[in-house]
Structure 1
């Protein structure tokens, strides 16, 4: 690995870095025919009835074969996950992990309802959505063509995903990710603070997780 790439990688915050590494490694494993997508997708029957629990994890790391859609999702997930982890969740690794963990559970429960075997792109839209709601006044230039305000970023990316994939079904997972991201943002930034006066169990990581990840 070139020194420049290695140095850049270690500048990426730990949660985003681990997710990025696992996503690239999973796609490489499929590309090299070490595993097949059929061994990675999630369904309740495969995970529980057939006793293949790893599918509850691998579904969040496979972004598909190397393609424009793969680069699109990986780039925007990495960019906004990193920005969110470096700003709102600076020195709060456990809280950021908890946000993604709770969002993952929600997506696993929604998966059968919308027939979504792979949930990587859905989860990737959670940090994009949360970042956009926490920075509402920031203008975003999309591909140097037009400028939008941050709250419209997730929907703009969903539409672009629809265009490059060619089918609305392919973008449905991204839209569901936005919905789950909205729930995560609402629980943490609206409901917990305004109605409870502080973060609840869904908005803040348990103390044991904070200790494990070195936040306290």
Structure 2
């Protein structure tokens, strides 16, 4: 069973696996009291005055204590992050990582002017929003109560969060950042006079994407090269004979010709 679980775990796309694992381990560390949420939350004063730079990342990894809210966020995070990575970002890991960085930076900038302590839920909503806009005709069912098309999913989640008594500021932030990314990546470049503004840095492509094969490379068939052994073997034998001071049989003069001389 452990081997089967390991195989299933390794089949998860790399970015989805890394992010969800980091979120689960962070929550487990808090539950086991190795760390506290006070060491993780977003605080500009502690980040820039006391150089606690890890808070720029850890505030995206903690979704609260174990409970319904945590499981709900983990399910949506894993599901839509994986569908994006295996769908529109398939074979484009660097572009997917760049979307993570773009969304994280925008949310952090907004967090500087608002009293937001943890941004993981907003990040999940951003992923859901981008997926929903790229799959507009998919029919959704929410707990068997609502039937709607995918673009309405982020708004349904925001309404559900409101029913649970949570603030909708986080959800609106995720929707806003998701829309900015979707507009700059999918809408604006296809408009008259538009161009692609979000360009993945080369260093990310060098790290996360496999090098592309040269389309102009066309190796010659073996027949044109004389085969794998023919030619190369004979040439090697001829060179070896010459190096030993022996003449190749075809280079020895005919005996009749010597007698005539």
What's the TM-score, normalizing by structure 1?
A: 0.92
Q: Which residue pairs with 1:136 in the alignment? A: 136
Counterparts of 1:2-41 in structure 2, within 5 Å, are 2-41=2-41
Unaligned runs of 5+ in 1: none
Following superposition, the deviation at residue 196 of structure 1 comes to 5.6
Q: SS of 2:148's equivalent?
A: strand
Q: Map Cα deviations across residues 86-116 of structure 1 (whole Å, 9 max, x no partner).
A: 0100010000010010110000000133311
- Structure of larger gyration radius: 2
Q: SS of 2:147's equivalent?
A: strand
Distance 1:107 1:4 in 2: 38
Counterparts of 1:41-120 in structure 2, within 5 Å, are 41-120=41-120
Greater per-residue helix proportion? 1
Q: CA RMSD in A?
A: 1.5
Q: Which residue pairs with 2:191 in the alignment? A: 194
Q: SS of 1:114's equivalent?
A: coil
Q: Which residue pairs with 2:125 in the alignment? A: 125
Paired positions, count? 211
Distance 2:93 2:55 in 1: 24
Match of 2:175 among 161, 178, 185: 178
Distance 1:53 1:196 in 2: 40
Distance 1:3 1:198 in 2: 48
Q: Map Cα deviations across residues 117-172 of structure 1 (whole Å, 9 max, x no partner).
A: 111111111111000000001101112222110000011011112223x23x2x32
Distance 1:72 1:89 in 2: 24
Q: SS of 1:147's equivalent?
A: strand
Match of 2:201 among 203, 206, 209: 206
Q: Which residue pairs with 1:146 in the alignment? A: 146
Unaligned runs of 5+ in 2: 212-261
Moved more, 112-121 or 12-21: 112-121
Following superposition, the deviation at residue 12 of structure 1 comes to 1.5
Distance 1:45 1:195, change over 3 A: farther
Distance 1:158 1:87 in 2: 24
CA contact (8 A) 1:94 1:215 kept: no
Following superposition, the deviation at residue 195 of structure 1 comes to 5.1
What's the TM-score, normalizing by structure 2?
A: 0.77
